[in-house]
A and B are shown apart, each in its own frame.
With several copies, the nearest count.
Chain A
Amino acid sequence: MGNKELPHHGHGPGEIALRVRRLESLLVEKGLVDPAAMDELVDRYENRVGPRNGARVVARAWTDPAYRIRLMENATEAIRELGYQGRQGEHMQVVENTPDVHNVVVCTLCSCYPWPVLGLPPAWYKSSAYRARVVSEPRTVLEEFGVTLDEDVEVRVWDSTAEIRYLVIPQRPRGTGSLSEDELADLVSRDAMIGVALAGKPDSRS
């Protein structure tokens, strides 16, 4: 790999790490990037913004019918009510699973994902295989993730080709009528909000 590339475009694991260190040092030395700002960026998305945000949105929608209506009508505003907003979530839409419709989200052209509510995507979401397959064989992909749907349940795949970001509202599991909003949020995995899992199940670690 990379034998057609210029020398500084190395591709081996060590080479690429070196190339990145060189670029970082260049940009910092030129005054284009503030190292503290880099730390802030990574810390924010690695430690502070993640799928717990989306889970709170879902749990609120499950428990507060008025909120659910606001969320369906203007997701961006309703999500901002809970304090989540900004980059890669400027224009949100929720898609609600029902007994008749199951929704699943992808970005076939790059890997768009609703950062304010889900954080940064898992690597499998960005993989060629997921991006290629889920639009053309969604039922097979869902089965590989452990979600087997009846034939009479319609599968809707949402391809995020523009700046609208999609959040799946999974069906509320049965027998959860007595749970608090926080307890309900615990049942909502990242995968359920992408649409490759149901609520009440853990994420897709295989």
Chain B
Amino acid sequence: MNSVHDLGGMHGFGMIDRSQQENFVQPWERTVFALTLACGMLGRWNLDESRFARERMDPGDYLKGSYYEHWLHGLELLLKEKGLVSENELASGSPEGSSDLSAIPAGRMAALLERGGPTAMDNTDVPAFRAGDPVLVRTFNPKTHTRAPRYIRGKRGVVATCHGAHVFPDSHASGTDRLPAYLYNVRFEAGEIWGAGDAQGNSSVHVDVFEPYMEADHA
């Protein structure tokens, strides 16, 4: 979806506040971090659904809110959408029924975190592109989740590497099965993206781009 989370190349945010050195700025942010990970491990949603939930935050709230406010919004939304808590329970903080899910115990955390959630998959198709191929990112503007930022859409680049097949996030974010799609690192010259007059000299942007976002560039 084209919302304000897609920040690359936007103006108006001022200087970077380099005094913000810590991850957790407010004490409650630790709680949001831990709740988000712990609830995610219950297995009722995947990482792409988490990202899509955060992106669906009201655009003004997203920009005014801190990073962990995005997480809090996403967590509450998923808990409700997946039926783990009700709107009433969220408002009151008191449970109205029991859950058929059990908390992941502390003792299992280390192993789960060390395993993580690999997204590499087998794919029986042959990759459409290989390193050195010129590619054109398609023009598309889905209302649903995508990992193609707006600034590369319609732009030409060159494949730097093929990362093999990975879970395709656009469909995974709607809770469907893991579908494989080849993933490439694509190099875009800064001038191609921002225009020759506005790009900074001798610079490029490398973006990981899924095969369905691209076509061969015959120009």
Contact = CB atoms under 8 A, between A and B. Distances in A.
B123 to A, nearest CB: 14
A106 to B, nearest CB: 8
A67 interface: no
Nearest to B72: A20
A85 B207 CA distance: 23
A158 B13 contact: no
A26 B16 contact: no
B116 A31 contact: no
B202 A26 contact: no
B interface bracket (residues with beta carbon within 8 Å of A): 35 or more
Contact of B109 (A37, A124, A126, A206): A37
B18 interface: yes
B124 interface: no
A201 interface: no
Nearest to B89: A26
A33 B27 contact: no
A109 B13 contact: no
B197 interface: no
Interface stretch (A8-16, A53-61, A167-175, A180-188): A8-16
Nearest to A106: B8
Interface in A80-139: 85-91, 93, 106, 108-111, 119-124, 126-133, 135-139
B185 to A, nearest CB: 7
A205 B22 CA distance: 10
Nearest to A138: B203
A156 B26 CA distance: 33
Nearest to B147: A161
A8 B202 contact: no
A8 B91 contact: yes
A44 interface: yes
A36 to B, nearest CB: 4
A179 interface: no
B207 A161 contact: yes
A116 B213 CA distance: 29
Contacts of A17: 26-28
Given A26-B93, A139-B200, A140-B200, A132 B11 contact: yes
B103 A42 contact: no
B58 interface: yes
The interface centre, meaning the residue of A38, A155, A162, A203 with most chain B CB atoms within 10 A of its CB, is A162
B118 A157 contact: no
B159 interface: no
B37 A41 contact: yes
A144 B5 contact: no
A91 B21 CA distance: 26
B117 A26 contact: no
Given A109-B5, A135-B193, 16 more contacts: A11-B61, A16-B28, A26-B85, A26-B90, A41-B34, A90-B118, A122-B22, A126-B67, A135-B151, A136-B190, A136-B199, A139-B200, A154-B203, A161-B147, A161-B209, A164-B185
Interface of A: 1-2, 4-8, 11, 13, 16-17, 19-27, 29-34, 36-42, 44-46, 85-91, 93, 106, 108-111, 119-124, 126-133, 135-141, 144-145, 151-164, 203-206
